Amino acid sequence: MPAWQMLPLEIGLGHSRPGASLRPVGLVLHSTADPGATARQIRDYFNTHRGASTHLVVDWTEIVELIPWEPGVAEIAWHAGPTANMKFLSIEWCETTDQDRFAASYSMYIDTIAKVLMTYNWPADIDHVWSHAKVSATFKETDHQDPLPYLAKWGKTWGNVMDDVAAKLRNGGV
């Protein structure tokens, strides 16, 4: 799939989509903790599990939109606890054990983050881009640490993500 091209919107089923509008102030980044699962498989999981959803899912070949995220149509997703759900958009990043897939998915993840930031005219900074780990530490409503352990597995840090997104934005985005 070319840089930042997403599948047509595949809205989640009623039980995974609250349907309430959202005026987001930033973005929470996740990883799936399900190595090998594709974006479509994660979509299917969210469509069958009550109370779990996300705006976008990124794997090594595609981006799937589950909940509307763009200005004026954004809706709440259930992804990081009550406080964060009411404030932030979300991106799930599919995990893999394959180095080539990791490289491809990391590139698509960075592109997707940059696309959302550009769409909202947000900078790549600590106020607008949060890890689920930061959400857990700040609001204490979840205990997740993603995507930090997955990044570490591949020799990457949160700083690498922020630097790569900032570089993407400086170079005109996606």
State the amino acid at position 137 in one-letter form: A
Q: Using one digit for the tens of pLDDT, what is the confidence trace for 138-172?
A: 999 999 999 999 999 999 999 999 999 999 999 98
Helix (H, G, I), strand (E, B) or coil at 88: strand
> What pLDDT score was predicted for residue 2?
47
Tell me: the pLDDT tens digits for 53-82?
999 999 999 999 989 999 999 999 999 999
pLDDT of residue 6: 61
* pLDDT tens string 13-59: 555 778 899 999 999 999 999 999 999 999 888 888 777 899 999 99
What is the assigned CATH class of domain 14-170? alpha beta
pLDDT band at 94 (very low <50, low <70, confident <90, very high): very high
The span from the CA of 84 to the CA of 64, in Å, is 21
pLDDT of 105-146, one tens digit each? 999 999 999 999 999 999 999 999 999 999 999 999 999 999
Q: Where are the domains of the chain?
A: 14-170
Residue 46 sits at the vertex; the CA angle it makes with 97 and 89, to the nearest 5 degrees, is 90
